[in-house]
Structures are given as structure tokens and as C-alpha cells.
A and B are shown apart, each in its own frame.
Chain A
Amino acid sequence: MPQRQTLSSYQLLIQEVLVFLGALTTLLVETIMFVARGAVSYRHTVRQMAEIGVGSLMVAIITVGFSGAVTALYISIQLVKYGQPGLIGGVVGKSLALEIAPVITAIVVAARSGSAMAAELGSMVVTEQVDALRALATSPTQYLVVPRVLASVIMLPLITVIANAAGLLGGYLASTANGVSATQFMVSFQSYTYVGDQLNGLVKTIPFALLIALIGCHQGLSTTGGAQGVGKATTSAVVFAMIAVYITDFFLSSILQDVSLRFSG
């Protein structure tokens, strides 16, 4: 009965997605409980913050910097053609603040730090270190997951701000090289990009950071098998985190746009 077969494999997929979301939610709730109880190791959190910062900052600056430049390049060619060079700074600034900086930074952190979390925790699982933690009466969530989640939530907005600045610089350089004056770019940026846009983009980085760290930790902690299992956990952590970031981005942006429109009247 091939039809039944197909149906059951779809059911299985839906079931797996629901189980995965359930596991992430459980991990999130456990993490929040530990944080609320103050059971946080500041030393480990700071160490994780350093790991994420050192690992991701330069990559984020380069990727967002060039994304800003290429965006400005296309836009300035078009808008100069239609005689609207005064809009370029605003369009580039808004795109960077609302979308490019938060999303690309999240992807960079997922690829660089989410994967590292999955790989490290996965290796700890296969070498029985996670069992050793539990045998020493220590919760793996408290000891391993809480510092990583907190560090991501603190670092992702910071990296996004710096990457955003790098993007603006890239955009500025690309625009001025294509016939837009420096003053035009700056004035346009200042009059069309609002503080609200910057905040809007930054608010999105918090759920992104939660997703990246929780998925990285969950994939690491559910590793089975040996070195191959660690490889699978690492790859799936990056893939799932990227998918989750893009899906969340769309729905969150819809809500945030709605909210900001209502506030601006």
C-alpha cells in the first residue's frame, strides 16, 4: 500500500517537527527557571560571550559590510538614473537596520557559534562527559545550556550593532563611488532612518539568539553515535537554526511593522 506509506511518512515528519519544537520549548523553560533562580555561572557565561564575540565579530563585519556595499551599489545605480540620489542613504540605512544586519549576523553566529555549541556538547555526550556531569549531581542544562543561551542573547545584539555600522560604511563607500555625494548620503540616512528602525532590528536579534543557542545545545545534547553523530549534530544545528531564523524573521517583522505603523499613526 504505497499510499499509506506516503501518508505515514508525512505524519512521521510532522510528529518529528512537533517533538523537536517541544524539546526546544522544554529546554527554554528549564533555562528560564535556572536564570530566575539565579543559578547562573557568570564565569562560564563570560567565557561563552568571549567565544561568540571572537568567533563571529570579524565574519559579521565583513559579510554585513559587503552586503551593505552591494545593496548601495544596486540602489544608487537605479536611483541616480531616476534622479533620486537623495533617497539612497535612507534606503540603505533602513534595509541594514531592519533586515540585513540582524539576519546576516544571526546566520553568521549560527554558522560559527551555533555549530561550535553543537560540536562541543556533542563530543561531550559521546565521551560520556554529559553523563559524568549528571553523575556528579549537576544539571547539564544549568552547567552547559544556560551560559550559552545567556551569552548569545547578550552578544548577538552587540555584534549586530557593530555589523550594522560596518554595513553603513560599506554602503557609504559604494554610493559615493557611484555618483552620490557624501553629504547627500548622510542627510538622507539621517532623515529617513529612524531610531525606531534600529530598535525594530535589534528586538529581532533576541529571539534569533535564543533559537541559535537552544538549537545548537539541543542538537549537541541529543547526539548519538560517535564522531559521525557529532558531525550530523553540527550540520543539523546550523541548518535548523538558519531555517528557524528566516521563518521567525518573516512573522516577527510582520508583527513589528504593524506595531510601528500603529505607533507612528
Chain B
Amino acid sequence: MPAVEFRHVTYSVPAGLEDDPATPFDERLTRRMILDDVSFEVPERSITCIMGVSGTGKTTLLRLMAGLLKPESGEVLIDGQDIVSFKERELNEVRRQMGFVFQYGALFDSLSVGENVGFGLAQQRRPAREVKEVVAARLTEVGLEGIEDKLPSELSGGMRKRAAMARALATNPKIVLYDEPTSGLDPVMARVIDNLIVNLRDRAGTTNVVVSHHLDSILRISDHVMMLHGAKIVAEGTPKEVQASEDAVVRQFLEGKAEGPITVR
């Protein structure tokens, strides 16, 4: 059974208002398709990368997986259960098995790093000593030992991202969602994060979904790659298969050319 599965998922956002006063207001609202009847599977214990140019809806895809957004139609299956009709309380049960690493970390800036990392466990009312131990272990794992008492504002971008990873991993999730884990980081730090993701899969057997546009990092770490473009999945397969793709959009993205079917707005 796939860890995550999308079946015919459609999602759009309001795009604006047509400038035609004669038509009724409701009919003038236009919508922009983010996902148009998208179906795919994320294999268990894999590193699945979703690539695509900025603004194609990669982050939306992750938010749909965590139930932070609801699709207009289609099914989002997590471990075989369709979460679209779930109420917030049921969603929270699913989310306890899930870790979400946000693009800019999204650490709670009123809490210390230690309180941030231990947040999920503290909410589950685990004993304070256990929380403290897990926090120390997770921070050590991401190379940030001993910074429990610092505030997020005192950390650099790379440290924030790693602290956010530690927070997402503290509850031993089965599925971890990463939103641009290496963007904005120097090459050394990017490699450190890549290694952390691979180690986690090997050690804990987690299913990892990584949204990224860092090509070399995608090709290095992933077992399974998908490319999202124009609200559709235009390529899917192993890194080798995708690299061999003849699709013009995929070729332009892989070769990083300014000219081609991908138009930049």
C-alpha cells in the first residue's frame, strides 16, 4: 500500500475579477488551476521528490497531504484512508504520524528552540524528562546539540531549518514532508540536510516527500521523482527515467534553459 496517494485531485485558487460590470459579480470571479485532476502514489519508505518551477503548486501539494488544505474534488489517501472528509480532530490523529518541515522553518518565535522541538511531545502530555531527552537527541542528530535555550531569532537560516527538522522528527513520524529543505542554504549545508533525509529513511524507515527545485539534490537523494507543471504531473519515475525523458518541459527544466515551453511570468 502506498503511504500517500492522490486520486483525481483538483485544487484551484481565486485569481481575480474580470473587468466587466455588466455580468453579475459571482460570474466575474476567475480561478487559477493549481492541480488539475492529479493522481499519483508515494511508495512507502521512499524519498519522493516533487520538482517544478516556483509557483506551480508544489507547496499546495504538501499542504493537501497534511490536511491543511482541502481539495475541490478527488481523494487524498494517507495510509489508505481518505482524509478529505476528515474533521479537524481526525486530521490531528493523522498528523501525529506526520512531520512537516516548512520552507522557512516556521519555528514558534515566542518559544525557545528546545520548547519548539519538544512541542509535539509536550502537546501529547509526555513526561517532561522524556521530552527533554528526545529534544537533546534530535538536536544532536541535526548537529545542533546544546542550543535548547536559544530563541529562534538567534539562529542562522541553516540552523533554523535544521531545528525545524528536529521538531518535525521529534514525534517519530512515519511520513515526513519537506518544503524546499535546501533552498537558500550554502552547498555544504544543503548536502548536510540531504544526508539527514537519507539517513532518516535508512534508519527509521520513514516515507519522505521532498518538494524542491534543486536539481542536483533531487537527483542525488530521491528514489522516485515527479515533475509538476501546468497543474499536471508531466513526468514521473526513477531519477534515471526522468533524466532520460524527452518531454520538452522536463528537458527545459533539467537543462535550465530560459527558452522553451515553460514561460516565466
Contact = CB atoms under 8 A, between A and B. Distances in A.
Interface of A: 1, 5, 8, 12, 124, 127-129, 131-139
Describe A's contact surface by its main secondary structure.
helix
B108 A132 contact: yes
A131 B106 CA distance: 8
Contacts of B100: 131-132, 135-136
Given A136-B119, A139-B88, 19 more contacts: A1-B21, A1-B22, A8-B25, A124-B108, A127-B109, A128-B106, A129-B106, A129-B108, A132-B102, A132-B107, A133-B108, A135-B68, A135-B102, A136-B120, A136-B123, A137-B92, A137-B93, A137-B96, A138-B119
A43 to B, nearest CB: 11
A137 B102 contact: no
Contacts of A127: 104, 106, 109
A124 B92 CA distance: 20
Contacts of A134: 66, 68, 95
B24 interface: yes
A124 B108 CA distance: 8
B238 interface: no
A132 B102 CA distance: 7
Contacts of B108: 124, 129, 132-133
Interface string B89-100: 000110110111
Given A5-B21, A12-B25, A137-B95, A131 B63 contact: yes
Contacts of B104: 127-128
B112 interface: no
A2 B253 CA distance: 49
A131 B102 CA distance: 9
B103 interface: yes
Nearest to B108: A129
Contacts of B21: 1, 5
Contacts of A1: 21-22
A50 B83 CA distance: 40
Contacts of A12: 25
B22 A132 contact: no
Interface of B: 21-22, 24-25, 63, 66, 68, 88, 92-93, 95-96, 98-100, 102-104, 106-109, 119-120, 123, 167
Nearest to B110: A120
Contacts of B24: 8
Nearest to A133: B108
Contacts of B119: 136, 138
A131 B60 CA distance: 12
Given A137-B120, A137-B123, A138-B123, A132 B25 contact: no
Given A8-B25, A136-B95, A138-B123, A129 B63 contact: no
Counting chain A CB atoms within 10 Å of each CB, the highest count among B68, B100, B106 belongs to B106
A134 B123 CA distance: 12
B117 to A, nearest CB: 11
A7 B254 CA distance: 53
Contacts of B99: 135
A134 B68 CA distance: 7
A223 B106 CA distance: 16
B146 to A, nearest CB: 23
A233 B63 CA distance: 24
A2 B107 CA distance: 50
B25 A135 contact: no
Contact of B106 (A5, A8, A132, A138): A132
A54 to B, nearest CB: 16
A5 B98 CA distance: 48
Nearest to A8: B25
23 contacts: A5-B21, A8-B25, A12-B25, A124-B108, A127-B104, A128-B102, A128-B103, A129-B107, A129-B108, A131-B63, A131-B102, A132-B107, A132-B108, A134-B68, A134-B95, A135-B98, A135-B99, A136-B119, A136-B123, A137-B92, A137-B96, A137-B120, A138-B119
A29 to B, nearest CB: 14
B18 to A, nearest CB: 14
Contacts of B88: 139
Contacts of A133: 108
Contacts of A8: 24-25
Contacts of B120: 136-137
